[in-house]
């Protein structure tokens, strides 16, 4: 039996205004893949497509195919998400996808949403545009925001090359736009001044796409993309697969995915029209933008302001835009570059993720967090609007890294490390972002498909043999347990953050850290009255105790969580933390 459908609540004008006025840093984000969340309507499992799984993409026993989750299922579970304390839902791409692609033996489905053919419609595996409107209305009725995951870098793999199937990248130097098939080839595209002259007049001279390869669209897919301009190969780079280095990083195909010519004014305006239309029609609250680092900066310099302007015209003054810039290590400078050069308001905080993995799912010291926070001054619009996260659908779940680093750790230690990492996420600056399933103890087997388990009962053997954290359940059962210890911990942390302006928007002052696992202490200050909230974390497996500096004006603390410090003299407080413990201490009123 399917769970009872949640009642769709229509937001009143006053409620909508209140929601719109909330700042991005006041949210707690819950990220999910609709296909893996809840199946509300089994009738759409095959997307209305006949044939076998290679046609419709539905195979609930295979980790790389559609499993049946949809927007109606998400609406049914809004109670659950709200009980967790989330105030914004980030939904993986819902656009119509190519159902199946990949070479023989390598086929998989577009269940994740990143192989778009129609940018204007919801994929029928997930429902309809009307279902998406129902979701946005229901979420807004509860005071919850909805963020869309969007792609401007590429489309599904539709374009083919006459010369090869899996084609190597061919550079502009060796295969210029002015010659067919290399520097000694036939002259083509006379007068085209190169892709760095990003004017309508210049790109009007780019008419022949045969500079590196001979691209073509198979007859059966000649008009599969929407809007129609996307079907013309002239709007793509057509240079073969990216190596993720040098110019290929922004101009190469992602394992065959058709890489858009984002230097072209036609593509720039086309994408502005597409995604501006979703703002106009549905009144969504933000965009997470896929593969942000793999698009030329000039595109974002036009696109991002256009989206913010479109949202303001719709009455959405705090539209949250954050880009995926997947960089390894605690490297805030590398991330912050995209807030200046590309002019992104925010990026996903991969530096935070690296810090928690290297320290709590590793053996690094707490000085990693100092390196992280020292970089906050580099972000153009501040670090407090960066979504922070411990794991995701691409890089794997945090629990996986804990078990990999500490294979002999018992269940209690693994649980404590996962909770501690999320305590950092909820306590430090940024926008806490929970990956669905983490609150149910999902750990996964690795990255990508191995970290995309079903929340509803799964039929995937390599998911169902996983040992979950904090529970005896498996993914073969429904996992919406509000009594799970991690669910309760996350909900408690979300409530503490919701009630604390210091944690949501306050200034951060590091109090103590070290080069080994152990104490990390910071104070956060209420932006309105300056009151201190002290956060104490122990990343080590031994108890820690001592004295920590506090504001001399603080006379005592009220414990919001854990064993709080006691002020022993003006400017000093004594603390004692258990292994892998933490405390959140608010200055007594």
Positions marked active-site: 290, 324
Identify the sign of the CA torsion 189, 193, 195, 201.
negative
Identify the sign of the CA torsion 421, 427, 430, 433.
positive
**Distance between CA atoms of 49 and 64, rounded to whole angstroms?**
18
Which one-letter DSSP state was computed for residue 11? P
List the beta bridge partners of residue 510.
522
- Angstrom CA distances, 412 to 168, 468, 563, stand at 48, 12, 19
Q: What are phi and psi of 65, to 5 degrees?
A: -125, 170
* Residue keyed to tokens 């893996």: 36
Residue ranges of the alpha helices (H) in 348-505? 350-359, 367-374, 398-405, 411-427, 461-464, 485-498, 501-505
Which one-letter DSSP state was computed for residue 7? P
Read out DSSP for 36-100? Answer: GT--S-GGGTTTT--SSHHHH-B-TTSTTSB----HHHHHHTHHHHHHTT--EEEE---EEE-SE
For residue 216, say if its preceding peptide bond is cis, omega within 30 degrees of 0: no
**Distance between CA atoms of 307 and 477, rounded to whole angstroms?**
41
Structure tokens that stand for 184 in this block: 């000694």
């Amino acid at each position: 039996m399917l769970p009872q459908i949640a009642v769709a609540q229509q937001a009143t004008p006053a409620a909508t205004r209140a929601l719109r006025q909330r700042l991005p840093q006041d949210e707690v984000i819950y990220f999910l893949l609709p296909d893996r969340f809840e199946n509300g309507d089994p009738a759409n499992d095959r997307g209305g497509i006949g044939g076998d799984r290679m046609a419709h993409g539905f195979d609930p026993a295979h980790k790389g195919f559609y499993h049946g989750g949809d927007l109606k299922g998400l609406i049914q579970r809004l109670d659950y998400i709200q009980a967790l304390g989330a105030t914004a839902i980030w939904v993986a791409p819902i656009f119509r996808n190519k159902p199946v692609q990949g070479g023989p033996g390598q086929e998989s489905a577009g269940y994740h949403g990143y192989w778009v053919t129609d940018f204007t419609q919801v994929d029928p595996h997930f429902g309809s545009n009307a279902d998406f409107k129902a979701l946005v209305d229901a979420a807004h009725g509860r005071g919850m925001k909805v963020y869309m995951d969007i792609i401007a870098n590429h489309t599904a793999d539709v374009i083919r090359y006459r010369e090869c199937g899996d084609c190597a990248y061919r550079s502009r130097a060796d295969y210029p736009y002015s010659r067919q098939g290399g520097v000694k080839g036939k002259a083509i595209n006379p007068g085209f001044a190169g892709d760095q002259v990003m004017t309508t007049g210049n790109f009007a001279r780019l008419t022949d796409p045969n500079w590196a390869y001979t691209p073509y669209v198979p007859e059966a897919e000649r008009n599969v993309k929407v809007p129609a301009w996307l079907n013309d190969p002239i709007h793509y780079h057509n240079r073969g697969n990216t190596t993720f280095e040098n110019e290929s990083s922004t101009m190469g195909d992602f394992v065959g995915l058709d890489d858009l010519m984002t230097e072209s004014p036609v593509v720039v305006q086309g994408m502005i029209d597409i995604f501006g239309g979703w703002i106009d029609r549905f009144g969504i609250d933000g965009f997470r933008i896929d593969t942000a680092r793999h698009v030329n900066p000039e595109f974002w310099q036009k696109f991002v302001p256009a989206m913010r302007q479109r949202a303001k015209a719709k009455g959405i003054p705090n539209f949250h835009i954050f880009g995926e810039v997947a960089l390894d290590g605690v490297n805030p400078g590398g991330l912050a570059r995209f807030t200046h050069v590309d002019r992104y308001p925010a990026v996903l905080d991969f530096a935070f993720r690296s810090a928690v993995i290297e320290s709590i799912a590793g053996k690094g010291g707490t000085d990693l967090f100092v390196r992280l926070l020292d970089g906050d001054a580099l972000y153009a619009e501040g670090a407090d609007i960066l979504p922070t996260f411990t794991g995701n659908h691409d890089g794997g779940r945090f629990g996986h890294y804990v078990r990999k680093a500490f294979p002999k750790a018992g269940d209690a230690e693994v649980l404590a490390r996962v909770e501690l990492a999320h305590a950092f996420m909820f306590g430090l600056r940024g926008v806490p972002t929970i990956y669905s399933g983490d609150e149910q103890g999902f750990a996964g087997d690795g990255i990508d498909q191995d970290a995309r388990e079903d929340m509803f009962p799964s039929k995937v053997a390599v998911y169902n043999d996983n040992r979950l954290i904090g529970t005896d359940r498996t993914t073969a059962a429904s996992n919406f347990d509000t009594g799970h210890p991690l669910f309760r911990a996350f909900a408690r942390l979300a409530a503490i953050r919701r009630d604390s302006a210091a944690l949501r928007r306050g200034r951060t002052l590091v109090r103590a850290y070290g080069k080994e696992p152990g104490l990390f202490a910071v104070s956060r200050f209420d932006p309105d009255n300056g009151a201190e909230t002290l956060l104490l974390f122990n990343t080590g497996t031994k108890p820690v105790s001592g004295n920590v500096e506090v504001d001399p004006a603080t006379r005592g603390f009220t414990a919001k969580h854990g064993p709080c410090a006691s002020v022993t003299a003006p400017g000093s407080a004594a603390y004692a933390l258990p292994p892998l413990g933490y405390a959140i201490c608010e200055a007594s009123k």
